[in-house]
Amino acid sequence: MLGSAPVARRWLLIEHPGPWAKNHLETTPIAGGVATTIEKACAELQGRSLLIRRTGRRQPGQDPSWFAIDTAMGTWVTGTWRTSDDLLHATAALGTQLSQSESLAEPMLLVCTQGTRDACCALRGRPVTAALARVWPDEVWECTHLGGHRFAGTFISMPDGTCYGTVDLPNAVDVVRAHRAGQVDATHLRGVARYSPAVQAATGAVLTEHGPAPIGSARPGAVDVISETVTRVEVIGDEPVPDTTWVEVTAEALPPAPLSCGKGPGEHTAYRTVFIPDPR
Q: Domain boundaries in the chain?
A: 10-100, 199-280
Q: Is 160 exposed, middle or buried (0-12, 13-18, 19+ CB in 10 A)?
A: buried
What is the pLDDT, as a whole number, of residue 95? 97
Q: Which pLDDT value is given to residue 142?
A: 97
| pTM of model > 0.85 | yes
State the Cα angle at 103 between 71 and 180, rounded to 5°.
50
Q: Measuring CA to CA, which residue among 154, 124, 126 is closest to residue 53?
A: 126
Q: Are 230 and 249 in contact (CB under 8 A)?
A: yes
Please determine, for residue 180, whether its predicted confidence score (pLDDT) is greater than 70.
yes
Taking CA atoms, 218 is separated from 39, 164, 212, 239, in Å, by 31, 16, 11, 9
Query: How much is the pLDDT for 254?
Result: 82
Compute the radius of gyration of the chain from its Cα atoms: 19
Task: Please classify residue 246 by burial: count the beta carbons closer than 10 Å to its beta carbon, then call 0-12 exposed, 13-18 middle and 19+ buried.
Answer: buried
pLDDT higher than threshold 80 for residue 128: yes
Confidence band for 228, pLDDT divided at 50, 70 and 90 = very high
> Residue 216: is its pLDDT beyond 90?
yes
What pLDDT, on a 0 to 100 scale, did the predictor assign at position 81?
97
Alpha helices in 82-215 (DSSP H): 84-92, 96-100, 119-135, 172-180, 197-210
Q: Is 10 exposed, middle or buried (0-12, 13-18, 19+ CB in 10 A)?
A: buried
pLDDT at position 66 is 98
Average pLDDT over every residue of 86-96: 97
pLDDT above 70: residue 263: no
User: What is the pLDDT of the chain when averaged over all its residues?
Assistant: 93
Residue 108 has pLDDT above 80, yes or no: yes
Whole-Å CA distances, 241 to 19, 205, 213: 44, 11, 8
Q: What is the pLDDT of residues 52-68, one digit of tens each?
A: 999 865 666 789 999 99
pLDDT value at 166 more than 90: yes
- Going by pLDDT thresholds of 50, 70 and 90, the confidence category of residue 120 is confident
Going by CATH, does the domain composed of 10-100 fall within 3.40.30?
Answer: yes
Looking at residue 119, its pLDDT comes to 83
pLDDT given for residue 148 in this prediction: 84
Question: Given this model, what pLDDT does residue 261 score?
Answer: 64
